[in-house]
Amino acid sequence: MQQRFAEPRARRAFVLRLFGSALVLFTLFLLVPFHDIVVALRRVPLGVWLGALVAYLLLHLIGVAKWLLLINAAGADLGFFQAVRCYYYGLFGNIFLPSIIGGDVVRAGLALKMSRSPSGLLMGSLADRLIDTVGLAAVAGIGALLLPNALDQRSRVIFFGIAVVFAVLALAVLAVWFLLPVVRRVSFRRRRLLVKIRRAVDSLRRRPARLVAALLLGMLLQGLLVMLNAWLGNSVGIHISPVVWIFVWPLAKIAAILPVTQGGIGVREGALVILFQPFGVPPAAALATGLIFTAVVMIGGLIGGGLAFLMGRAKGVRRPDSAPVRAS
């Protein structure tokens, strides 16, 4: 990662993402009275901040279990202790790399040194991200079904637009899923480039129960994160049905995936302001809730990185030179 940031192009991209976050936040502060935001933030007791931080770190243990389930199904063969270390380094990476997917790169990069099957690790990680995003969309869909009369025209357009995007992605994934097994029909030279990926995909295909379990774990994690944000919102002064949160928050998080700002900062908060409007939530309260959660994510990422570093120093972590690697 240090080499990547040392490159001029990577540095420019990093600066542009920071500028994007600053620009979006500056625009939000111009549109939403700053005094109202400060008043909303002051309503949150210190105990709520600390409780949200602890809950955030603990809830991501579910994410560890989901990721480990998928990468091991694809042949990575990581232990839980190793997975926790890699995953929490990924939380740290979310702060510095574009969108929430940036942490996936850090997580996989560290795990590659420990995995018995690099191709299995990469395909399992890809499946984890796809399942995580599908889980987010599913949670938002559940919220939309429970609020059929609460959506205005703008919210309907946003929701159905995202649904179309996911339909296209699903078709692309299905195409890859069914076409990879016929890789034997192509030339030997090309087959060598794809055979490892095909084996990892075949390994996942033979374990559909694990894919379903991973999806359920992902939905559970996202649902609990929704409730965590609803708790923060209640402290700020947002007193609405949890069902509204089930619809709004996953869509805001999906919007943060776009790699236009640093770690999705600014995009997520702006999406909350827009999506909460049809439900009568004051913009200052919606923005304050987003800022609080962003602070939790950043502090949690720093703590997660520190924990991962300490775990790396502890005995029992398998070092790269002691991890046998098998062909895959």
pLDDT in tens, 97-142: 655 556 777 888 888 888 787 777 887 788 888 888 888 888 887 8
| Distances, alpha carbon 218 to alpha carbons 48, 190, 309, in Å | 25, 35, 26
Q: How far apart are CA 80 and CA 318, in angstroms?
A: 11
Q: Average pLDDT, stretch 309-328?
A: 57
Which range is most confident: 121-130, 201-210, 228-237, 269-278?
Answer: 228-237
Does residue 226 carry a pLDDT above 70?
yes
84 or 126: which leads in pLDDT: 84
Q: pLDDT averaged over the chain?
A: 77
Does residue 57 carry a pLDDT above 80?
yes
Q: Average pLDDT, stretch 17-43?
A: 85
**pLDDT interval class at 324 (50, 70, 90):** very low
Residue 278 has a pLDDT of: 79
**pLDDT interval class at 72 (50, 70, 90):** confident
What's the CA dihedral at 217, 219, 224, 226 to 10 degrees? 160
Residue 1 has a pLDDT of: 44
**pLDDT interval class at 3 (50, 70, 90):** very low
Q: How far apart are CA 126 and CA 31, in angstroms?
A: 38
Residue 98 backbone dihedrals phi, psi, to 5 degrees = -65, 130
Q: How far apart are CA 136 and CA 263, in angstroms?
A: 17
Does residue 285 carry a pLDDT above 70?
yes
One-letter amino acid of 14: F
Q: How far apart are CA 89 and CA 317, in angstroms?
A: 14
| Distances, alpha carbon 52 to alpha carbons 42, 233, 253, 272, in Å | 16, 11, 17, 18
